[in-house]
Amino acid sequence: MPTIYIDGRPVEAAEDQTVMQAARAAGVEIPHFCWHPALSVPGNCRICMVEVEGKGTDIACNMPVKAGMKVFTNSDEVVAHRKAILQLTLLNHPVDCGICDKAGECTLQDYHYRYNGEPSVSVDAKVPATKFNELSDRIVLDNERCILCSRCVRFTREVSGSNGLGIEHRADHSRVQPSSDGAFRGDPYSDNVVDLCPVGALLSRRFLYRSRVWYLEPTPSVCPGCERGCTINVWHRLEDWKLKSVATKENSRIARVTPLENPAVNGPWICNKGRDLADLFERPRTTQAKVGGRPAEIDEAVAAARRLIATATRPVALVSSWGSNEELEAFARHLGGRLACFVKADHRPREGEVLEDGLLIKAGKNPNSRRARELFGDAAPSFAPGTDLVLCWGEGFDPALLPAGAKLIVIGSFFDAATDRADVLLPASTQLERDGHYTNFEGVVSAFAACFPRPAGVADAEALFGLLAGEDAT
């Protein structure tokens, strides 16, 4: 391993590393716009320029390490170069940080304060451009903010494979544009370009003008959209910034979802389905226990369910493939010996949804099918003759399949046909209201954490299993 020197400090580098990679691994920041660790190296923004003793200045992103080389990241020449590049980059950039969704996360804003911090030297008016150019029904482009780093273009060519974006024209007329075949509109990974954009040029319609990022906090979680189990950050309102009198529903809503980088599962990406988890978790909730279709206290409903289980001669359980590892193990421990257990698919592919691809998306649309099958087998759900009780945990069960005369207990979080038909309904918390783990299709275990408190009248399924078995809630 060659040793190089960065600002006088010895750094052990790998043979195939660039100066940029070696510096980052050593904790040395070199500013960059166009460079990204998961994309090719275009070397077009020029702000990562460093000085090499005896060789002059060059870009760090495409400079191979060489044993003994001495790199300076803050020499007078480098500092002057960065200022000049920032002056050029900001030449036509609008001063609309106050209304930009990227404010608080903008690399250009950070670099201007850190490395330039001076008014523009230009006395000419800025060249205007299209402010809201629709790239798809999910993404809009503010051409005035775009610095032509080309990250978005390279992503569609090198990662998602849609080739949905390109740069047309030259010089002051250069613009990022979608391909004429509409491929970007159909790209199931298109929203990643919003994260990739170092400025506020690429904007998510879902998040547009919804919140300032400093009002939000991320909670690590797992996308339940398929058995890949991508790790994500679920962004929601900070406790100190919760709204008191207007739009208070925003306090318990998902503001946005972004990838939580995980080399073992999804790298730095997620698909668009993961971005839309608010649509999934903000459906009408079951928060009221019921017995025989009438509202009841949770204790009364638990007692009624226990009686049905105790008197059943051939009870069957349909186990949720959205349950956490902890919940599945609790179900097996408390109820697995009393009921014939089958794993069911809580969710199936939606119309028009990508079924599977070679990047992230998997055909199984349930996050914990592997662990559920490990505990309860992979036999298809069935009802033997004489089945007199069905305990349905989670979604996806058609009550029309209920055996004649059988009673139905539902432990669920959202309204569906089964909750309407249930003889006993026990409202359960969602993934966003508890901590737990999922095991993905490859056996990788990932953790999720609670974002919001449970609504009144709702219990954790893990606690309900113990109660149904006649044990204390603790």
**How does pLDDT run across 311-353, given as a tens digit for each residue?**
999 999 999 999 999 999 999 999 999 999 999 999 999 999 9
- CB count, 10 Å around CB of 28? 18
Fill in the amino acid letter for 200. Answer: G
pLDDT of residue 251: 94
pLDDT of residue 173: 82
**Rounded alpha-carbon distances, angstroms, from residue 41 to 46, 88, 155:** 12, 21, 12
pLDDT of residue 471: 66
Q: Evaluate if residue 391 carries a pLDDT over 90.
A: yes
Give the chain's radius of gyration (CA, Å). Answer: 27
- CB count, 10 Å around CB of 333? 15
CB 234 within 8 A of CB 171: no
Q: Which of 158-162, 172-176, 207-211, 239-243 has the lowest mean pLDDT?
A: 172-176
Q: Tell me how many degrees the CA angle 377-416-257 measures, rounded to the nearest 5.
A: 80
Q: Evaluate if residue 89 carries a pLDDT over 70.
A: yes
Q: Where in the chain is the domain with CATH 3.40.50.740?
A: 290-468
Percent of the chain with pLDDT over 90: 94
pLDDT of residue 66: 95
Q: Evaluate if residue 254 carries a pLDDT over 60.
A: yes
> Strands of 70-72's sheet, edge to edge?
9-12, 3-6, 70-72, 49-52, 56-59
pLDDT of residue 310: 96
CB 47 within 8 A of CB 38: no
Please write down the long-range contacts of 28-32, taking CB distance under 8 Å and 24 or more positions apart. 28/73, 30/60, 30/73, 31/82, 31/107, 31/111, 31/114, 31/115, 32/60, 32/61
**59: β partners:** 49
Which CATH number does 290-468 carry? 3.40.50.740
- CB count, 10 Å around CB of 210? 15
Q: Where in the chain is the domain with CATH 3.10.20.740?
A: 3-89
Mean pLDDT of 395-407: 96
DSSP designation for 99: G
Mean pLDDT of 36-64: 96
Q: Evaluate if residue 74 carries a pLDDT over 90.
A: yes
**461: β partners:** none
Q: Distance between CA 455 and CA 282 in Å, rounded?
A: 13
Chain-wide mean pLDDT for the chain? Answer: 96
Please write down the long-range contacts of 47-55, taking CB distance under 8 Å and 24 or more positions apart. 47/82, 47/85, 47/86, 47/89, 47/111, 48/20, 49/78, 49/81, 49/82, 49/85, 50/19, 50/78, 51/75, 51/77, 51/78
pLDDT of residue 473: 41
Which CATH number does 3-89 carry? 3.10.20.740
CB 352 within 8 A of CB 376: no
* Secondary structure (3-state) at 236: strand
pLDDT of residue 474: 37
Q: Tell me how many degrees the CA angle 286-291-297 measures, rounded to the nearest 5.
A: 70
- In the structure encoding, which two tokens stand for residue 131, read together? 């402010």
Mean pLDDT of 75-80: 96
Q: Distance between CA 385 and CA 381 in Å, rounded?
A: 13
Q: Distance between CA 250 and CA 294 in Å, rounded?
A: 31
pLDDT of residue 395: 98
CB 147 within 8 A of CB 33: yes
> What's the pTM?
0.94
Q: Distance between CA 237 and CA 244 in Å, rounded?
A: 12
